[in-house]
Structure 1
Amino acid sequence: MLEISRKTNLLEQASYKYSLQDVKEPNLYRDMYNYEEAPKIAFNQRRVPMNMPEDIWITDTSFRDGQQAMAPYTVKQIVDLFKLMSRLGGPYGLIRQSEFFIYSEKDRQAVQECMDLGLKFPEITTWIRANKKDFKLVRDLGIKETGILVSCSDYHIFKKMNMTRKQAVEYYLETIRSAFDAGVVPRCHLEDITRADFYGFVVPFVNEIMKLSEEAGVPVKIRACDTMGYGVPYTGAALPRSVSGIIYGLQHYSGVPSEMLEWHGHNDFYHAVSNASTAWLYGCCAVNCSLLGIGERTGNIPLEAMVFEYAGLRGSLDGMDTTAITDIGKYFEEEIGYEIPPRTPFVGEDFNVTKAGIHADGLLKDEEVYNIFNTEKLLKRKPGVTVSKTSGLAGIAYWINDHYNLTGENEIRKEDPIVAELKEWIDRQYDEGRTTNISNRELREKLKEMKQND
């Protein structure tokens, strides 16, 4: 049978209706996921069309998934970060939603205080255990949407839940009906989708969800969860690891609209950002992130990374205030006591700081040579240098100009005698066995001493 596709406006075969394969033994993809070896990336050379949605956005899970990986935030910390996140997302709400726990009194107080701010974005959503009592709690708080766990790999269905695929589908659908009865929009978290039997379970199950949604007249969101970070962004990669294949399949064979589709990834194999961008490119409107990427094991998709991915793909920040990223980083370190690894992009202490003399020479001539963009404008952070044994004359001159705000005619050149004298002192430090960088305090004190001896 041929039908006009609403997605491509082309005649396409509509005979691909996948049925649930209720297998007796779990499909654990042992050829790909041999637990004693590194996971293998298989290719079948099947390619799907790129299909960027008209609108894309970011959602947040800092107060849900993020809180599972560190000491719980206080109510004040949640409210402060929520306000910074709203500022970062800008007037158009490019950080569209933020996800909260609501189990404890403290969780609910944080939700209420964030709601009392009256901010349009991010919209507050929740994540709950799938039972009627929790659905009522969501509704009573005045929250319209909640996430529910619908694990979809046989690792979870057979090994954790001790069910068959058919039993799992029946249980999940009853849970979704409970959400409808409570007047809450369910967001179905397809946990462990990158180890799931995509056409034998995921597509038939999502088809049932979409059918139930249509019958009830209530929208349902689908979150594709790369729980273990197995997803890959490569063209021609085989399922279940292909991110583009997953997004295409959910749209093409289950009819999930782009605006109801969300990608949630982890960074176990360093693919979190590239996988999220791939999800956008192939038809997913939302990518779910956390501040600084804080989350279980190796973390989630860093929210600040996707802000700049958005700008790169769209050619504009569209109102997002990226200076809030620096304030968020400072808040984590100064108010929460979280130690950010110094080389973390955008927020780490050293992210735009060079220690190599040849790089400092480039910065001295024109900062654009060795700085990724105007970090002073976009992040309120000037490029800097750290003085060490490899800094050279250029690095020392740059440090002096930067720390004493010397510009124009007052600027120190690397040929200046004071630079040569300071370098001689630094070289002696390392000749005598020093192994650490020269601190800013030490440099200031040495310059003060040199000036007094003139």
Structure 2
Amino acid sequence: MSNVYINDTTLRDGEQAAGIVFNAAEKVAIASLMDIIGIPELEVGIPAMGGSEAEAITGIVNSGLKASLLGWNRAVISDINASIACGLKRVHIAVPISDIQIKAKFKGKTAVVWERLKSTLNFALDKGLFVSVGAEDASRADESFLIEFAQYAQDLGASRFRFCDTVGILSPLTTTQKVKKLVKHLTIPIEMHTHNDFGLATANALAGIQAGATSVNTTVNGLGERAGNAALEEIVMALKQLYKVNLSINTSRLRELSQLIIQASGVKLPPWKAIVGDNIFAHESGIHAHGVLKDPQTYEPFAPEEIGWERRLVVGKHSGRSLLINLLSQHGINLDYEESQKILDSVRHLSVQMKRNLTTEELLDLVTNRRISHGIV
């Protein structure tokens, strides 16, 4: 697993999420930050769309990034020409290979699959391009047909093969089984492209890597079609923390990258979102806060600084006296046992009324008002 290669598709599959639009400046800014933090390859969009999409892709190409840049294409020669016109040197060619997809797109004519792949791949290679071939809906394709298709792509000269769980129907076990079979038959790298329809995109991508895939598609915040894709921050941190794989990616800027995508997409994250959510290092529960105050490792899998975030201790319905005393002492307020218990009771009561935790200002106001009412101040 030490050779895992990230190919982020936030600017292509991420933007294909319903209602998401990145303008050219945003696309360049996103690509630039991903390049700075060390993402080695970016799938920058669909050149065949033309117009502002082609302008944005060309802008990224002309930005002088170190990352390799890839354009997504159908198995159509005009798509390849559009990628070339944008200045791209690397192309991905997607071909539907499940019976469902072939029936819908090629009227059930399997021969068209072979013809399209051969004509577009040969054309791209003749133009000196790096070619990645993707088996769209591979997870629902006949396995013998999938292997035959993958071998044909390899024999024609494809440099990488993308295994697509297009509608997210795999589990880690089935992913492992399917990818292992592909690995046995191919010598070119296999890339995982997983969707999150059943909440398994990251797990399936990691299962594919464990089975021998060496490349993986990701999107920042898991943005993507329907339920989204395998999240960049989840894949990177899982590889780093769980598998001890060094991808040479500056993880301390993952939170910053996440916030940039939130701003550009207009889509907020739930606070409990893995790795980059607001609450990932927030502690309110008395038991948890007490443990974290003694040793952060009691309830944190890694330090917040690793992703560019910070630990937050907040008071609310579930807080205990240790947390309350700690927070107030930071503001020069020291309470005896009786007073701290009464303040805690008030905190819990107010938190229930407001249906949220208290801000620091609200906590300080509560203490001040209580002391005034009792003639302490």
1:302-324 Cα distance to aligned partner (Å, 9 max, x none): 00011112213552545321121
What residue is the counterpart of 1:62 in the other structure?
A: 10
Judged with a 3 Å threshold, the aligned counterparts in structure 2 of structure 1 residues 415 and 263 are, in CA distance, closer, same or farther, namely farther
Equivalent residue in structure 2 for 1:98, among 43, 64, 67: 43
| 1:154-200 per-position Cα deviation (integer Å, ceiling 9, x unaligned) | 1111244212323322333223223233333332110111111011x
Report what 2:148 is aligned to: 204
Which position in structure 1 is the counterpart of 2:23?
74
The verdict on how the C-alpha distance between 1:203 and 1:318 changes in structure 2, with shifts beyond 3 A counting, is: closer
Instruction: State whether residues 64 and 100 of structure 1, in contact with CA within 8 Å, keep that contact through their aligned partners in structure 2.
Output: yes
Q: Report the CA distance between 1:144 and its aligned residue.
A: 1.4
Q: Distance in 2 between matches of 1:278 and 1:427?
A: 43
Tell me whether 362-371 or 293-302 shows the greater mean CA deviation.
Answer: 362-371
The one-letter amino acid paired with 2:171 is V
1:111 match: 57
Alpha-carbon contact 1:58-1:287 (below 8 Å) kept: yes
Q: Indicate the percent of aligned positions where both proteins have the same amino acid.
A: 26
Amino acid aligned to 2:175:
V
Q: What does the per-residue CA deviation read over 1:339-371, in whole Å, with 9 as the maximum and x for residues that have no partner?
A: 111100121111121231111111222222112
1:325: Cα distance to partner? Answer: 1.0
2:358 is the alignment partner of 1:438? yes
Give 1:426's match in structure 2, choosing from 331, 343, 347: 347
Is 1:256 the counterpart of 2:187 in the alignment? Answer: yes
Give the secondary-structure state (helix, strand or coil) at the position aligned to 1:288.
strand
Look up the match of 2:82.
137
Contact kept in structure 2, 1:56 and 1:280, CA below 8 Å: yes
Give TM-score, length-normalised by structure 1: 0.75
The answer to whether 1:397 aligns with 2:325 is yes
Structure 2 distance, partners of 1:387, 1:223, is 47
Q: 1:207 to 1:363 in 2, by over 3 A?
A: closer
How far did residue 328 of structure 1 move? 1.6
User: Does structure 1 conserve the Cα–Cα contact (< 8 Å) formed by 2:135 and 2:163?
Assistant: yes
State the AA in 1 paired with 2:184. H
8 Å contact from structure 2 (residues 162, 193) kept in 1: yes
| Letter paired with 1:325 | L
Q: Do the aligned residues in 1 keep the contact of 2:347 with 2:363 (CA within 8 Å)?
A: no
Aligned-partner Cα distance in 1 for 2:302–2:335: 24
Change in 2 beyond 3 A, CA 1:418/1:79: farther
Separation in 1, partners of 2:243, 2:317: 42
- Listed one character per residue, the Cα deviations across residues 254-305 of structure 1 (whole Å, up to 9, x for unaligned) are x232xx3211001112221111112112211101010100001111000001
| 1:127 counterpart SS class | strand
Letter in 1 for 2:124: A
Against the structure 1 CA distance between its residues 413 and 378, is the aligned structure 2 distance closer, same or farther, given a 3 Å change threshold?
farther
Whole-angstrom CA distance in 2 between matches of 1:202 and 1:331 = 38
Q: CA, structure 1 residues 161+114, in 2 after alignment: closer, same or farther (shift >3 Å)?
A: same
Structure 1 residues 290-439: aligned runs within 5 Å? 290-312=219-241, 314-315=243-244, 317-334=246-263, 336-375=265-304, 377-400=305-328, 404=330, 419-429=340-350, 433-439=353-359
> Partners of 1:417 and 1:304 in 2: how far apart?
45
RMSD of equivalent CA atoms: 2.6
- The structure carrying a bigger helix percent of its residues is 2
CA contact (8 A) 2:44 2:69 kept: yes
Distance 2:341 2:36 in 1: 46
Give the direction of change, closer, same or farther, for the CA distance of 1:347–1:416 in structure 2 (3 Å limit).
farther
Distance in 2 (alpha carbons) for counterparts of 1:416 and 1:105: 68
Residue identity in the other structure for 2:187: V
Q: How does 1:98-247 map to 2 (within 5 A)?
A: 98-102=43-47, 103-121=49-67, 123-199=68-144, 201-213=145-157, 219-234=158-173, 242-247=174-179
Q: 1: CA distance between counterparts of 2:184 and 2:214?
A: 15
Following superposition, the deviation at residue 443 of structure 1 comes to 1.9
Instruction: Write the deviation string for residues 405-439 of structure 1: whole angstroms up to 9, x where unpaired.
Output: x7xxx7x78866664343132244368x5533323
- Contact 1:100–1:124, Cα closer than 8 Å, also in 2: no
Assess, with a 3 A threshold, how the Cα gap between structure 1 residues 87 and 417 changes in structure 2: closer, same or farther: farther
Q: Are the counterparts in 2 of residues 322 and 378 from structure 1 also a CA contact under 8 Å?
A: yes
1:437 is aligned with what amino acid? N
Distance 1:415 1:283 in 2: 60
SS of residue in 2 equivalent to 1:58? strand
